Amino acid sequence: MPHPVLEAERLLRRFARETNLLIAGRPIRVSADEEDTQAALAVAGMARALGARLVEDDATGPDVLDIDASADDGALALGGKPLTSRGDAGGRLDFARAHMPVSATLAAELKAAGTVSGLCIGVSMTLEPKTANLALMLRDAGADVAVYAHPDETDLEVAQALRDRGVPVDADATLSGDAEREAALAWLRRGFDVVVDDGSHVVRLAHEAAPELVEGWIGVTEETTSGLTPLRRMAAQGALKTPVVAVNDAATKTGFDNRYGTGQSCVFAIADLLEQVDMTVRDLPVLVIGYGPVGVGVAAHLNALGAEVRVSEIDPVRALLAVHDGFDVGPSEELAQGALVVSCTGAPATVTPEILAAATVVAVAGGVPGEVMLDGAHLEPLIVAGAVARALDVAEPAHTLVLDRGGCINVTAAEGNPIEIMDLSFATQLAAVAELVRTRPGVGVHALSDAAVATVGKAAAEARGLELTPATDASYGAETDWRSPRYAAARPATPSSASKTPKETA
């Protein structure tokens, strides 16, 4: 008889795989026959550890997930209706759109204000149903939109569904090398006012190979840490030639996308692949390399599934955070021995040949090329019972199992981050596009304003039906300003302190 913990994990992974929806924050109701109490407890405990809210029998609503732990296949229902297939690519687009109310609200505001009317906007991101909806929302708000995606990050069925709905898509999964580069340049030559990028790949390509195009841009909105890092370096060197809004740094993006979205999607994708070879995340010690926002999410989700998680870090503050979250911290080479290693740095050469040789399984949640140093390693497709296991390779001579050839595990081996998480991220992108077009900032990397982030947060809270405590003058406002009379007694009355800002005084 299957272990209750394994069955609980399978049920929750199946829900996520079949819907691409989020566990964290979701109202979940678990039921079971009296003889299946252990199964129900296992499902409820794991769901709660993943951030779900357990609800009572009278709870209703379209987001309530019902799990019958007694059923042979673990019956699942969403909003009172049994789970059904999302259908073809068009059906997946429509399903995603129905679960993206925050982005829909921001897009409606763009349309009402005419902010992007007549502008040409290029979207360069992993092409799956959520991205397709971002492009459609920008188009419906009045922009001319064209989409590009890297060959490894293109869902061909979604690309065609988007074309069928009138949005040009320059994406071809068969391209590589020079042909891929030329395809990206051809897309850039469409001539954009605004570029929405993920990883700053096309932005950097334009600076290198077609700088005359960059001069005509209003600016760029960048989605990721790995994309902002080189753009900030370019800005410091005087090489950046366009304004960039750092969408990644907004609380409505990083606070949710990496911790909950990447955490769930990467860990569940790893577990799905390991099941092909009759393994679970609990069978090996796990090493999470990097305890930034992605590492925090990956470690938390692995921990919720019952894995033994350790962490390696180069940053002392992040290492301290990992310890305070309950994880042992140590050197990568030492902790990788016999482990499932998950790289969460978003930096090349993270998994060295030494780590690759020491590990039993290697996966990547960071997602930059070369995060696993495979040069010199010979990859052989894994054969399981006469068939080739999907996205599984063995690195010889170490005989280490490499998931998804060292690519970002939730992109090419799964459907990317959950819909509700990308709803928040793409609503933040829409707010950034609006702010970029309205304010026309100078060349450089700019934070998204607090007001724009608050607009996204308010729309998200309303979409989820959250009741917030009303603000009062006593709770925040003028009285919280550091210069207010309330703080006068605690502030030294000396000329030196009076002339300094709070940052300098601190």
CB 306 within 8 A of CB 282: yes
Whether cis (ω within 30° of 0) applies to the bond prior to 397 is yes
Domains and CATH numbers, the chain: 4-82 (no CATH), 90-252+418-460 (3.40.50.1480), 261-412 (3.40.50.720)
Residue 174's CB is within 10 A of a number of other CB atoms, namely 9
The predicted model scores a pTM of 0.89
What element of type H or E holds 497? helix 495-498
For residue 250 the two structure tokens come to: 């907004």
CB 434 within 8 A of CB 138: no
Question: Which residue bears the tokens 């300094």?
Answer: 500
Question: Which residue bears the tokens 């897309």?
Answer: 187
Residue type, 488: A
**Beta-sheet strands, E only, within 397-499:** 400-403, 444-447
381 phi and psi, to 5 degrees? -60, 140
Please tell me whether residue 65 adopts helix, strand or coil conformation.
Answer: strand
User: Which residues fall within 8 angstroms of residue 387, CB to CB, at 6 or more apart?
Assistant: none
**Beta-sheet strands, E only, within 107-251:** 120-124, 144-148, 169-170, 194-197, 219-222, 243-246
Ordered per-residue pLDDT tens for the chain, 506 residues:
568 999 999 999 999 999 999 999 999 999 988 888 999 999 999 999 999 999 988 888 899 999 998 876 668 999 999 998 999 999 999 999 999 999 999 999 999 999 999 999 999 999 999 999 999 999 999 999 999 998 888 899 999 999 999 999 998 888 888 999 999 999 999 999 999 999 999 999 999 999 999 999 999 999 998 899 999 999 999 999 999 999 999 999 988 999 999 999 999 999 999 999 999 999 999 999 999 999 999 999 999 999 999 999 999 999 999 999 999 999 999 999 999 999 999 899 999 999 999 999 999 997 788 999 998 899 999 998 888 998 999 999 999 999 999 999 998 788 999 999 999 999 999 999 999 999 999 999 999 999 999 999 999 999 999 999 987 766 655 444 444 444 344 443 433 333 333 333 33
| 254 vs 258: CA distance, rounded Å | 6
For residue 16 the two structure tokens come to: 């996520």
> Is the Cα torsion angle 32, 38, 39, 42 positive or negative in sign?
positive
Question: Which residue bears the tokens 């309530």?
Answer: 64
> Terminal CA-to-CA distance of the chain, rounded, Å?
60
Residue type, 260: Y
For residue 454 the two structure tokens come to: 């608050």
